[in-house]
Amino acid sequence: MRVGLLTREYPPDVYGGAGVHVEFLARELRSLTDLAVHCWGEGGAGGVVRHRPWTALDGANDALRTFSVDLSIAAALEGRELVHSHTWYAHLAGHLGKLLHGIPHVMTAHSLEPLRPWKAEQLGGGYALSGWAERTAIEAADAVIAVSGAMREDILTCYPTLDPAKVRVVHNGIDTTLYRPDHGTDVLARIGLDADRPFVLFVGRITRQKGVPQLLRAVRDIDASAQVVLCAGAPDTPEIDQEFRDLFQELSRVRAGVHWIPQMLPRPDVIQLLTHAAVFVCPSVYEPLGIVNLEAMACGTAVVASRVGGIPEVVDDGRTGVLVPVDEDFEASLAHALDSVLGDPEAARRMGEAGRERAVREFGWDAVARRTVHLYEEVLKQG
């Protein structure tokens, strides 16, 4: 079947979990479908067509610039039998492609705009536009993929007119041949980590969703022997960026061994950090699934994560990590959970081994792609 896969992020421009999802899903779909990827960027080759915002909108609100890309993508979908969009940045393109070319639209919901009100800081009035685009697309889609069971519940709560039969759960996946323990130490040495001290690792964007301010306050009081490594970049707004910088400076004054890496590291560097971390921490306040937790588990590392969204479907509390409720005591509970793992290296080792086993057994991308193609076939049969 001739499938158009629509996304904002695609290699080499991947900065979040949705981009990782599309990268690996596309890799698997190429052997199962006639696939054309439409994404943001310049140029096109090898089944990938890149689109950029209209120059007439330079300086305009980001939502309007996104819509200009969506129009360009929709115009380029002629000859496709089905389109599959990812995130609000591409959902309108999928909806327009459905109407223009008379083809089914499948969309994957990686997050939901109504559940991310902090985006109004980033987009201003564009947040109302992004919400409109998502609602318009999701309510007219032929099928909606939720990346977790919790995400499916959120979708049906936010969009109650949606037929529940159209909403299917297909979990995110992980390439466990790529994400696997790397016991080299060159990356650690380059960063300046003390090999004789354990470290807590965070990898993610500087955004309200990821709970970064809460983390920076929580780790002030954890075991003084632990180092803290923050692979944190791509701030949503200058204000959030400044808040992070202020908290980082405060943290650096009260404890030693705090390392901030603002640039996006190459994947092999991240894998080595994940492998050597005493514990990986995911303090998200909203997370439909959380691919980064799977990445840590696949590298054999125990995870401390917030008990929100789809995270409990990935992190098995007490077996592959520790889950922390997001409540008024979140920061103190997060610190306590981190200390509990740091203080018991043998238990952390067992959690890491169980996490690796779970990632291999349940979250392979080949299975994700097969389930996705099966849904495509169902939708096409329905006409």
Model pLDDT for residues 217-245, shown as the tens digit of each residue: 999 989 999 999 999 998 988 999 999 99
Say yes or no: 358 and 369 in one domain: no
Say yes or no: 135 and 255 in one domain: no
Structure tokens at 272: 């080595």
For residue 181, being part of any structural domain is answered with no
pLDDT for position 273:
98
pLDDT for position 222:
96
pTM for this model (two decimals): 0.83
Say yes or no: 276 and 326 in one domain: yes
CATH number for the domain spanning 298: value is: 3.40.50.2000
For 248-286, the pLDDT digits (tens) are 999 999 999 999 999 989 999 999 999 999 999 999 999
Question: How many structural domains does the chain have?
Answer: 2
- Give the C-alpha separation, 373 to 82, whole Å: 11
Say yes or no: 94 and 49 in one domain: yes
Say yes or no: 151 and 194 in one domain: no
Residue showing tokens 């209209």: 54
Sites in the chain below the pLDDT cut of 50 = none
Say yes or no: 344 and 376 in one domain: no
**Residue 36 CB contacts under 8 Å (≥ 6 apart), including other chains:** 2, 3, 4, 5, 47, 48, 49, 80
**Residue 22 CB contacts under 8 Å (≥ 6 apart), including other chains:** 5, 7, 9, 10, 37, 39, 86
- Domain limits at 294? 186-362
pLDDT for position 328:
94
301: exposed, middle or buried (C-beta count within 10 Å: 0-12, 13-18, 19+)? buried
pLDDT for position 226:
97
pLDDT for position 234:
87
For residue 32, being part of any structural domain is answered with yes
For residue 151, being part of any structural domain is answered with yes
pLDDT for position 2:
98
Say yes or no: 242 and 269 in one domain: yes
pLDDT for position 288:
85
For residue 141, being part of any structural domain is answered with yes
Which amino acid is residue 46, in one-letter code?
Answer: G
- Give the C-alpha separation, 76 to 54, whole Å: 15
- Give the C-alpha separation, 67 to 88, whole Å: 10
Say yes or no: 346 and 370 in one domain: no
pLDDT for position 119:
82
For residue 335, being part of any structural domain is answered with yes
pLDDT for position 335:
98
For residue 73, being part of any structural domain is answered with yes
Say yes or no: 33 and 87 in one domain: yes
Say yes or no: 109 and 157 in one domain: yes
Say yes or no: 358 and 375 in one domain: no
For residue 180, being part of any structural domain is answered with no
For residue 138, being part of any structural domain is answered with yes
Say yes or no: 32 and 132 in one domain: yes
- Contact at 8 Å (CB) between 32 and 369? yes
- Give the C-alpha separation, 321 to 342, whole Å: 12
User: H or E element: which one contains 203?
Assistant: strand 199-205
Q: Between vectors from CA 172 to CA 170 and to CA 109, what angle results, nearest 5°?
A: 65
- Contact at 8 Å (CB) between 4 and 97? yes
Helix axes 17-29, 365-381, angle to 10 degrees: 70
